[in-house]
Structure 1
């Protein structure tokens, strides 16, 4: 049986035990991460916390709209084993009881119902020499080779780096979204999860990779390019050098890949496709679903 549990009533001891022992565990589902990223969130619970599903939501007048917050890629159902029967119960309850704008399950969740999928690319832990020799695209090998004159450095949050991020981060249209992103970096740094690496040409920062360090995996939060130095192929150099120094102990998660040009870039480093299922509704769909619920 699935129950909805409001935030104030969540047994976080049981919740933490469930997610820590789940096969789907990721850093998004941790309480402190959800508390930071979500204005509001609650929980769907199966049995006595045998399986859980965090649900971020926003309030609109008298309505609660289930919606993924910025910078959160995959949530979904967390349990000791991914049970398609239990997952379907969650999905049916979720659709019946929420107006869903956008919700993204994790790649381990499977359902009887067919849902839309999004693409993600990941490189498992492996020998770097084998990865580059056997899995890199030929063109990527060549591009990386020509950029070896660049310098690779780990960088830390200071005024110069923050200005570089604000001036070169693409995809955030609103000023408040950029403010939230900067706050997120401070949060990750405080949590010990922020790593940043840069490529330099004659002391000029050409590219910056912003990573979430989750212990056994690096997740790419942002890959920023200084357009003035685009011809130096710093992005290729930077990803290659991060892989060279880390891929034998840490997996690398590109955190996306649905846009064709970006997908090809990620694939060219020998990454594996990892799809996850999503529910996305237009305003018309939401009104139609609201009429059904009410």
Structure 2
């Protein structure tokens, strides 16, 4: 039997244990991350926290909707094993009890194949020399020609102006401010690392990376277009992998735009697909009074 728990009803000790011991364990389901990025969130639970499913909630026009927050890529169902029947029960419960704008499961959830999917690119821990063999030929060449650049790890404060002046991908000013708030939160939690490529003394590119347990996740890759021909982005990702991939996996966190997808794949990354539920405004209006 699946139960819906309000935030105040959640046993966070049991929740944390379930997430930590789950085969689907990921960064996004951590309580402190959900508390930071979600307006509010609830929890679906089976048994004594044998399986759990965090549900982000946003209030609008006096109603509550399920809406994935910015910077949260995959949630879904978590447990000690993969159980397709149980996952199906969670999905049915979610659909029957919530108005869903969108919800993203994790790539290890094996729910119905008729769901839409999003793509992510990921590199498991490995020897750098072995990974380098899987680089696309063109990427190897690009990295090689950029070796005159310098690589540095920076603190967030000294890189803020560069990020603010060159960051692209978020159109709304409020979303940009959320990004900076999130980076400051991660920095306080000692989970943020910032890397830069330099031409002489001038920064050309910056990589904003989440460092959690045994994984690195690319939160943002910021490029100064004046130095586009210097191939600093390729140089930067290669150096991060060279110094870390033996002990930490690398998550590119997405890949829906063709050019970006090819860029990620060119470093030998494997594609992961995760199921999603998305409803248009028309779908929501059509079903509004059914639930």
Q: Is the pair's TM-score, using the shorter chain for normalization, greater than 0.5?
A: yes
Show the counterpart of 1:208: 206
Aligned length: 291
1:291, distance to aligned residue in structure 2 (A): 3.0
- 2:132 equivalent to 1:140: no
Show the counterpart of 1:257: 255
Show the counterpart of 1:157: 156
Cα distance in 2 between the residues matched to 1:215 and 1:14: 20
1:292, distance to aligned residue in structure 2 (A): 2.4
Structure 1 length-normalised TM: 0.97
Q: Which runs of 5+ in 2 are unaligned?
A: none
Show the counterpart of 1:52: 52
Residue from 178, 187, 193 that aligns with 2:185: 187
Show the counterpart of 1:40: 40
1:113, distance to aligned residue in structure 2 (A): 5.5
1:263, distance to aligned residue in structure 2 (A): 0.4
What root-mean-square deviation, in Å, do the aligned CA atoms of Structure 1 and Structure 2 show? 1.0
Runs of 4+ in structure 1 over 3 Å off:
none
1:267, distance to aligned residue in structure 2 (A): 0.5
Deviates more, 1:187-196 or 1:107-116: 107-116
Structure 2 length-normalised TM: 0.98
1:85, distance to aligned residue in structure 2 (A): 0.3
Show the counterpart of 1:290: 288
Cα distance in 2 between the residues matched to 1:32 and 1:161: 25
- Structure 1 residues 95-174: aligned runs within 5 Å: 95-112=95-112, 114-132=114-132, 134-158=133-157, 160-174=158-172
Q: Are the equivalent residues in 1 in contact too, given 2:215–2:248 (CA < 8 A)?
A: yes
Q: Which runs of 5+ in 1 are unaligned?
A: none
Cα distance in 2 between the residues matched to 1:112 and 1:103: 14
Cα distance in 2 between the residues matched to 1:40 and 1:290: 21
Q: Are the equivalent residues in 2 in contact too, given 1:88–1:113 (CA < 8 A)?
A: no
Measured against aligned partners, the alpha-carbon deviations of 1:44-96 in whole angstroms (never above 9, x if no partner) come to 11112111101011112342110000111011111101100000000001011
